[in-house]
Amino acid sequence: MALFEHKEFDNHEQVVFCHDKVTGLKAIIAVHDTTMGPALGGTRMWSYANSEEALTDVLRLSRGMTYKSALAGLPLGGGKAVIIGDAKKDKSEAFFKAYGRFVNALGGKYITAEDVNIRTSDIAIVATETAYVAGTEGKAGDPSPHTAEGTYLGLKAAAKHAFGSEDLSGLRIAVQGLGAVGYDFAEYCAKEGAKLVVCDVNQEAVDRAVAELGAEAVSIDAIYDADVDVYAPCALGATINDETLKRIKAKVIAGSANNQLATPAHDKILKDMGILYAPDYVINAGGVIHVCSEAANFSFEETAARVKAIYNTLDKIFTRATAENRPTGEIADEMAREILAKKLAEKTA
Ligand SMILES: NC(=O)c1ccc[n+]([C@@H]2O[C@H](COP(=O)([O-])OP(=O)(O)OC[C@H]3O[C@@H](n4cnc5c(N)ncnc54)[C@H](O)[C@@H]3O)[C@@H](O)[C@H]2O)c1
């Protein structure tokens, strides 16, 4: 399994393969880039088919964190960790303590947090072995409200570019997923007079949106056929794919879900279809801003200002994408790389 020749290798600074003989822990920690600061990114636990699949995931996700934090203006680099295992069977206190020691051995170069299949209670055990954790219980708390606010503001920036006004009143918005982020986001939109079309596998959340926000409920499959101006994916990844794009009528895609595009090629496909796409890692950065507020001791006002700046960042991305007739995701990546290059030049001057 070659690392430097790996297709997802992108000049990562450090990749650590961790194995604890006693607990059977197998993890990979990838520090992609620390130009802007320590590499912050969650730990994901997944039953990867093999270590090659885990390596691919961690290399790609850690690079994504570098870009996300750079564009969010945070003093953080990008990193990520994956634990290879079954979250239902393999977890134990000793397991997470062993993992904490591996994180600690990096001396603060990598700061971990929760991610898929890792709960705050797991991170609390990790925190008994290392101070390099964020998003712990009783500290910054739930990032979802900030993610929802940032997504709402990002949608307003998209509406300005696509429809000529950032006012959401009268727009029809399909919200897929009414969880911690999706519900608050839907509420912001409804308050501004948008008409909501919603779906969720959780019927209770749907009933609540119908009762409280005047939303129209559709089945989880019918959301793709909804006659709407905006499609807001707030549940799953990879919902923008060849099949759904035959059905989606929206002219704007702006939602909180991670990894919305099934493949990188869908960035250009959306542009060619005349759909304005708010790059997922830019619009959903409220969460990492919130978590960073704990690690970097931001004041409440500072955190709020950074969440509000998501509007401006997307505004710049959309303006440049239009001027250069290029896909928005490509522009976002390029802008992140420019921020990193500028900082690196300052550091080495
Ligand atoms: N929470 C954050 O701060 C944050 C930050 C950045 C990105 N995100 C991303 O935003 C998305 C939502 O996060 P969340 O914290 O609200 O999660 P959540 O688990 O609270 O909510 C997800 C919702 O989607 C619903 N759902 C699941 N499958 C569905 C389907 N097929 N169709 C429709 N609904 C479905 C679930 O029932 C749930 O209500 C995720 O992709 C997450 O990775 C969240």
DSSP readout, 119-134? -HHHHHHHTTT-S-B-
Do residues 254 and 278 lie in contact, with contact meaning Cβ atoms separated by under 8 Å? Answer: yes
- The whole-angstrom distance between residue 214's C-alpha and the CA centroid of its chain comes to 28
Which residues touch 282 (CB under 8 Å, ≥6 apart)? 68, 71, 72, 154, 310, 313, 314, 317, 332
Supply 99's token pair. Answer: 């993992």
Pocket probe mutation, ligand 1, options 184, 200, 241, 292, max atoms within 8 Å of Cβ? 200
Supply 154's token pair. Answer: 């990002």
Which residues touch 61 (CB under 8 Å, ≥6 apart)? 30, 41, 44, 80, 82
Pocket probe mutation, ligand 1, options 201, 203, 219, 223, max atoms within 8 Å of Cβ? 201
d(CA 246, CA 234): 20
Closest CA to ligand 1's atom 11: 257
Question: What pLDDT score was predicted for residue 54?
Answer: 96
- CA 186 to ligand 1 center in whole angstroms: 13
Question: What pLDDT score was predicted for residue 110?
Answer: 98
Which residue ranges in the chain fall short of pLDDT 50? none
- CA 63 to ligand 1 center in whole angstroms: 22
Pocket probe mutation, ligand 1, options 40, 181, 292, max atoms within 8 Å of Cβ? 181
- Ligand 1 atom closest to Cα of residue 285: 6
Question: What pLDDT score was predicted for residue 48?
Answer: 96
CATH topology of domain 143-284+314-335: Rossmann fold (3.40.50)
Three-class DSSP labels, 13-39? CEEEEEECCCCCCEEEEEEEECCCCCE
> Residue 330's closest CA among 269, 286, 245?
269
Range(s) of the chain covered by CATH 3.40.50.720: 143-284+314-335
Range(s) of the chain covered by CATH 3.40.50.10860: 3-63+78-127
* Superfamily of the domain at 3-63+78-127: Leucine Dehydrogenase, chain A, domain 1 (3.40.50.10860)
Closest CA to ligand 1's atom 5: 287
Question: What pLDDT score was predicted for residue 143?
Answer: 87
Three-class DSSP labels, 37-77? CCEECCEEEECCCCHHHHHHHHHHHHHHHHHHHHHCCCCCE
User: Residue 323, exposed/middle/buried by CB under 10 A (0-12, 13-18, 19+)?
Assistant: exposed
Q: In what order do the strands lie in the sheet with 276-277?
A: 216-217, 195-199, 172-176, 230-233, 252-253, 276-277
Is the C-beta atom of 145 inside 6 A of ligand 1? no
Do residues 110 and 103 lie in contact, with contact meaning Cβ atoms separated by under 8 Å? Answer: yes
Question: What pLDDT score was predicted for residue 137?
Answer: 73
- CA 116 to ligand 1 center in whole angstroms: 11
Supply 337's token pair. Answer: 């790389």
Question: What pLDDT score was predicted for residue 297?
Answer: 84
What's the Cα-to-Cα distance from 219 to each of 48, 206, 224, 229, rounded to whole Å?
31, 10, 10, 18
The per-residue pLDDT for range 186-224, each reduced to its tens digit, is 999 999 999 999 999 999 999 999 999 999 999 999 999
Active site residues: 80
175 is in an annotated binding site: no
Is the C-beta atom of 313 inside 6 A of ligand 1? no
d(CA 239, CA 235): 9
Across the chain, which distance is largest between two alpha carbons, in Å? 60
- Ligand 1 atom closest to Cα of residue 142: 3
Which residues touch 337 (CB under 8 Å, ≥6 apart)? 67
Do residues 147 and 283 lie in contact, with contact meaning Cβ atoms separated by under 8 Å? Answer: no
